[in-house]
Structure 1
């Protein structure tokens, strides 16, 4: 080391490390999921309940953070074996870097589980409570034993079912009741997109997962098989959306909004075919845009439904219009900053072994 070499950055404090451990940036996804469900309920003529909007958001954020803290603990071996993490895959690296003891992560997960369970207990009907319990069970056992769903090539579908399947449906039910066929179609589309997105996330982690016996769908299918699945799944979903739109089974504005998001998976698919996940920096861009495909789609559908409401009578409830607009602005600001954030540096190889 020369005398002019810069000093290494000081490690973050324990509170900063604890916050980073929970990866709160992903909470924008669950926020947009709740917004989609509430807006769909408004579009169907249900009144807006501010209390249950806040209750659903609290439940969603508690469950989402619980999943992150739980995963950090039970995925520690796989994260240590991951030599090429990105900002969006490979965990927070807080436990890998030894910034906090692993039990801190597990303890936080249990506290958040109890918080989410408390919100579940006061939900107004049995169907809502069953949906919430299913969310918590699938989220917890995503990596926790004995199920360890993401170690048995079931994590992708479990994550899609929890976040973009049951998430908007629970928000919708707590606002009004049973969804229409159109709402179920929106949910089905973002569910498929989330399943495909999780497949790409696990593809980015494939080497470390193989070394530790973590059998994700990417490990089960191999890189080529997973890329073929992603391309086929995206193509079929957009083709089905176009067909539903042309036959009148899907409303015009939401249908067009969904189709307008096609450039995102098209860009991701082309980069996957050219091996971008093997290149530092490029892998971060691919995982970022693959991850953003779902909230972008949720935003597109939400804006389309709000636009349709604003051109009709009586229109959306004013409190929800204000809250939803604020939510969309917050997401846009965060998204703009995220686009400009450089990829993380490669980890020090000496710190990768346990």
Structure 2
């Protein structure tokens, strides 16, 4: 039975509008950055961790509310959304007025600017300013980056590029070669992930003239880009491991995530996005590939610290809590969402 706008509680609709389930990504992004700093010998300052996490969540939510407003026409044209693409559907269904989303985005924008002023050091504040600018302009005028083939790279830069760098610099004021290499891998994988997310929305985007990379390359070209990109990414991880740029346990754990994109690639090449249940599974697992890889890096760095006898410190407890929260949510998401079956096995 469908519900009318009047039957949906405004507060519940407002929360759905912000799509808070994606905040697990930024939570793990911050954990990666802080762990890189700790692995480099800098003690974790939990105050800066909390400030960075609040900034990450604030800008992440701001992006969602902003996108819901400026992507409304494209979301309305999307006849086959999944649970992970096509927006929250709150505005499309008429449960809230579009101005509510825009207003929330502006409030979060101002909150992000205030947190930006609190961040330590000029480099960190500059990174934060770029994050806010790119996040807002992802769909908002005048640039509307995701409407001109630049959305995938800007999203990768904001979340898995500058995100962990900001968290690391807030703690250490610098980043190690190993840490920078891990961040570069995350950036590449996030670019590929966003390409697939936009591929799922291709028909609606094409109808309103939204030129994502999927629209520009076409489905066949984009799937080929994803497959080649994943091979290049894991080859790079193997090379970093062989050259000793990253600790061995970090490289091995990162390589262990390969079955997820392999399964996604197989699904894409067999036309999964044309079937709602399989499309939902694909967009779910291509999204989960990112926090799983971030968790692999964090766990690997912590294991390397343990081997050096430097594991037992307050930051370890924070990481343990982070993994418990994410693990509990992931288990529930896999169980409750029927479309996630089958689970990727390679």
TM range (shorter): over 0.9
Cα displacement string for residues 4-59 of structure 1 (whole angstroms, at most 9, x for unaligned residues): xxx54573200000000000000000000000011111100001111100000000
For the 8 Å contact 2:52–2:119, the answer to whether it is kept is no
Query: Structure 1: which 5+ runs fail to align?
Result: 1-6, 345-354
Worse overlay, 251-260 or 62-71 = 251-260
- 1:320 matches 2:304: no
1:175 aligns with 2:171: yes
| Inter-partner Cα distance in structure 1 for 2:310 and 2:174 | 21
Looking at structure 2, the residues matched to 56 and 226 of structure 1 have their Cα atoms a distance apart, in angstroms, of 34
Alignment counterpart, residue 198 of structure 2, candidates 194, 202, 205 = 202
Would you say 1:329 and 2:316 are equivalent positions?
Answer: no
CA distance in 2, matches of 1:305, 1:341: 32
* Partner residue in 1 for 2:92: 96
Matched, 1:341 2:336: yes
Q: Which residue number corresponds to residue 146 of structure 2?
A: 150
Higher relative contact order (CA 8 A, sep 6+): 1
Q: Aligned-pair distance for 1:323?
A: 1.1
- List, as ranges, runs of 4+ consecutive aligned residues in structure 1 with deviation greater than 6 Å: none
SS at match of 1:281: helix
Q: Give the secondary-structure state (helix, strand or coil) at the position aligned to 1:95.
A: coil
SS, match of residue 301 in structure 1: helix
- Within 5 Å, give how 1:2-151 maps onto structure 2: 8-9=2-3, 11-151=7-147
Structure-1-length-normalised TM-score: 0.93
1:161 to 135, 157, 163: 157
The 5-angstrom pairing of residues 244-283 of structure 1 reads 244-283=240-279
| Matched positions, count | 337
- Measured against aligned partners, the alpha-carbon deviations of 1:124-175 in whole angstroms (never above 9, x if no partner) come to 2111110000000000000000100000000000000000000000000111
RMSD: 1.1
8 Å CA contact 1:306, 1:316 repeated in 2: no
Distance in 2, Cα, partners of 1:74 & 1:9? 25
Does structure 1 residue 192 correspond to structure 2 residue 191? Answer: no
Offset at residue 245 of structure 1 (A): 1.1
**Structure 2 residues without counterparts, runs of 5 or longer:** 340-346
Counterparts of 1:305 and 1:18 in 2: how far apart (Å)? 38
| Aligned: 1:300 with 2:293 | no
| Structure showing the higher helix proportion among its residues | 2
TM-score (norm 2): 0.96
Deviations 1:230-285 (A, max 9, x none): 00000011012112211222220111111000000000000000010000110000
Per the TM alignment, residue 311 of structure 1 is displaced from its structure 2 partner at its CA by 2.3
1:193-234 residue CA offsets vs partner (Å, 9 max, x unmatched): 000000000000000000000000000000000000000000
1:294-350 per-position Cα deviation (integer Å, ceiling 9, x unaligned)? 100000111111111122133352x21111100001000000111123368xxxxxx
Structure-1 separation of matches of 2:202 and 2:2: 30
* CA distance in structure 2 between the aligned counterparts of 1:29 and 1:250, rounded to whole angstroms: 22
- For 2:149 and 2:287, how far apart are their aligned partners in 1? 19
Aligned to 2:208, which of 187, 198, 212? 212
